[in-house]
Structure formats: structure tokens, C-alpha cells
Amino acid sequence: MTDPQETESTSPPERGRPQHAPQQHFPVIDNCLHIGGRPITALAAEANNRPFYAYDRNVMKTRVAQLRQQLPEAIHLHYAIKANPMPAVVQHMAGLTDGLDVASAAELATALATGIAPRDISFAGPGKSLEDLRAAVSAGVIIILESMTEMQRVAELAAEFATTPPVAIRVNPDFELKASGMKMGGGPKPFGIDAELVPKAMARSADLGLDLVGLHIFSGSQNLRPEALIEAHDKTFELALRLAAQAPRNFRWLNIGGGFGVPYFPGEVPLDLAPVVENLQRRIDEALRELPDVELVMELGRYLVAEAGIYVCTITDKKVSRGQTFLITNGGLHHHLAASGNFGQVIRKNYPVCIGNRVASEREETVNIVGPLCTPLDLLGERMPLPAADIGDLVVLFQSGAYGYTASPHLFLSHPQPLEFFV
Ligand SMILES: *Cc1c(COP(=O)(O)O)cnc(C)c1O
């Protein structure tokens, strides 16, 4: 994979080229960006100029193939569908990966509709409703228990359905990922059962007659630093082996989480997998010596789909205010909250952007790209040098295949919803 940052830091940015756009996935033909073999102007026409997301099936396929080539063979790769739950995407990913992770009854229904075996679906998430649990127990998917209350409820449902559903305990680890974008474990957390309480919880699950298959340890998301992932894997396996030794039944499933990040912002570079994988292979070899029958699962969302997607909106107005140029578009934070900087980011940074129907230009302008909402938060690009653009031109945001469409407040201000294309 080429590193766009390298060119940026060693030479002045090429005129008219997006400065950190990961352009390698999408060809530019006649100065127009293409996705799935189609010019985005054609997709925009098909969308009747409504803003849209487009996801490229081949980019996903290549991504998974490249990852699998590197990952240890023992790893079962799961797709965490909350990253992009569009049914066509989930269907596609079901065919490329070894399983799906879901976090609601609706996601479970989408996963089951792909036809994969229920045993290859796991259902995590705190505060599962009785309806969620009922659907999970009756389907026979692996239920990741996030609390003792959930364990009790599953035991009651198992009695009601006269079945023995496979369950796993989510462990809130006694360590934290140092440089994770979003910490999801360590310290006081709503996720899982504290590591020190897990031995008791495992014993209780046996008393309740549940089929405890193993553990789930997820320590964080959006990680770009190999050292942090290596440390997380070391600690995850150490903790898992320690707990597995106390498991009441045949321990046969271990979900080690995921957390592989993708570069979004200037200065970020793609994750270097080589050292991570080398260390992981060592940990896996050790673990398999102690637990030869264990199925090792890694769950990834954004790493598999983020780079395959773009978000496109149309410039509807252009104005200058006290020396700064504003491109006003028909898309914004209501469609793409993460790109506006309001989805967990501490400091707002620009997603990679290009003008899709005018990728390179002799004339460049520094612009702010905003949406139609009556709030200063509705900002898609801040002081970005881009080819000079006009009303009717298409603004493209890259790295938008994950946490876009369904992670945005579409109802805010009641503008039309974006469309989704799977190409
Ligand atoms: C959100 C989530 C994931 C996916 O995270 P990504 O950053 O998209 O890879 C995986 N596992 C669990 C438990 C999650 O909550």
C-alpha cells in the first residue's frame, strides 16, 4: 500500500491532488473519480443529485484477501456488522469472512438472512433487551454475556425454549490499550464482566446449565500503532489462558477482539501489520499448545470496509465571508457525523476529500465545506486546498465505508436521507 503521507512530507503537494486522499482504490478517468467501474457523475445522476454513499465490493474483497494472506491461519475472521450493516454489504462480507458479529436483534436478522451458520454469529453489546436475547437463544448464536443479569436472563430463556444456547463471557480486561482511538476495556467499563470476577461468573454459568464455550476480550478500536496492538495481544492471551485454566467446561472459543485502525487524518499512516502478525503467531502457537481445540476469532469492522466506501454530496452554493470561501453542500453531519468531527473525536480534523468530477485542476482554492444545517458543527472540511469548485460539482469524502450512514443523525433538521449504492 502506498503511503500518501510520505509524498506530502517530502515534497510540496502536487497541484490539485487531494493531499491525503487514499486514491489508490478508485481510478480517475477523464479527471472524474470512478467507483465500481462507474463515474461518480453517473451515480450522482442516478441519485437525482441526492447525497449518497457508494461501497465497492472489489475493494472489500481485496482487503479481506490481503489481510488473510498475512493473518495466522488459525484465525477465524469475523466482520463486526455495526461498521456497515447495509444488507448487501453484510451478504458480501459473509461470503468473504468466517463469521459475523452483531449487536442488536435487527443486526442478528440481517446476519441470519445471509444463510451463514448461527454458530458463526456472535451477539455482543451491553443491555441486550429480552427481545434481543429471545431472538439470539432461539437462533442458537453465541451470546456474549455482558453482565450477571444477562446470564440469568439467558438461563431463564434457555429453560423456556428447552435448549442449551452457546454463551461466552465478555471480559473487561485488567489492562488498557495504550494508544487506542476508542478504549473499550480496562478500568471501570459498562462492557463485560471485570476480569477478577470472571472465575466466579464461569462457575455460575455451569450451575445454571449454560454451555459456556469461551471468552471474548475486546480492548479497543481504531488502533494504528503496532506496539499497542502487540501489547494488547500479549495481555489478551495471558489473561485468556489464565482464565481458561479455571473454566468449568471444555474451553473452545476465544474472541480476541480486533481494533485494527485505518488512517483518516493528515499525519496518520496505514497500520503496519507485519510486526503485529509476527507476534500474534507466536501467541497463537503458545495458546494452541495449551488449548489445542480452541477456535480463535478476530473481529474487525472498519478495517475491512472503511476504505471501500465514499460519501458524495453536491455543491449547492458558494460564497465568500470575510476572506474565507465556503462551499455549501446538500450533505453534512446529518449524513456523515464522523466526518464532521462529532463522532468521538477530541479535535476536529479533515477527512480526505476530493472534488469528484474535477479531481485535478490548474486553479486551486482553500475552502471550507459545510452542510445545510443551522449549526456551526455542520462542517465537512475546514480550510482545505482543493481544485476550484462551483455549484453543481461533487464533493467526495473518502474512508467513508464504516460508521457513516447508520452512525449519523439523519432526522436532524429533516433533510432528505442519503442513498446507498453497493457497486
Ligand atoms: C465496534 C466493535 C467492533 C468493531 O470495531 P472496529 O473499530 O470497527 O473494527 C468489534 N468488536 C466489538 C465488541 C465492538 O463493539
Distance, CA 107 to ligand 1 centroid (Å)? 14
Distance CA 408, CA 344 (A): 12
Question: Which of the four pLDDT bands, split at 50, 70 and 90, describes residue 187?
Answer: confident
Question: Which of the four pLDDT bands, split at 50, 70 and 90, describes residue 18?
Answer: very low
Q: What domains, with CATH codes, occur in the chain?
A: 4-55+308-422 (2.40.37.10), 85-300 (3.20.20.10)
Q: Which residues contact 304 (CB under 8 A, 6 or more apart)?
A: 60, 63, 64, 67, 79, 83, 93, 97
Question: Which of the four pLDDT bands, split at 50, 70 and 90, describes residue 259?
Answer: very high
The share of the chain scoring above pLDDT 90, in percent, equals 88
Q: Distance from first CA to last CA of the chain, Å, rounded? A: 22
Give 375-398 pLDDT, tens digit per residue.
Answer: 999 999 999 999 999 999 999 999
Cell of 26: 478508485
Q: Which residues contact 288 (CB under 8 A, 6 or more apart)?
A: 74, 294
* Residue 17 pLDDT exceeds 60: no
Distance, CA 130 to ligand 1 centroid (Å)? 23
Ligand 1 within 6 A of CB of 387: no
Of 299, 307, 399, the residue with max ligand 1 atoms within 8 A of its CB, to mutate for a pocket test, comes to: 299
Question: Which of the four pLDDT bands, split at 50, 70 and 90, describes residue 4?
Answer: very low
- Stretch 174-196: mean pLDDT, rounded? 77
Q: What is the CA radius of gyration of the chain?
A: 23
Distance, CA 392 to ligand 1 centroid (Å)? 37
Distance CA 372, CA 266 (A): 26
Which residues pair with residue 325 across a beta bridge?
320, 367
pLDDT at 219: 85
Distance CA 229, CA 163 (A): 38
Provide the phi-psi class of 238: left if phi over 0, else alpha when psi is between -120 and 50, else beta. Answer: alpha
Ligand 1 within 6 A of CB of 359: no
Ligand 1 atom index nearest CA of 124: 13
Which residues pair with residue 366 across a beta bridge?
385
Tell the residue number behind the cell numbers 453484510, with chain if given. Answer: 90
Q: What is the pTM of this model?
A: 0.93
Distance, CA 363 to ligand 1 centroid (Å)? 41
Overall size of the chain counted in residues: 423
- Stretch 63-88: mean pLDDT, rounded? 98
Ligand 1 within 6 A of CB of 78: no
User: Does residue 249 or residue 42 have the better pLDDT?
Assistant: 42
Ligand 1 within 6 A of CB of 331: no
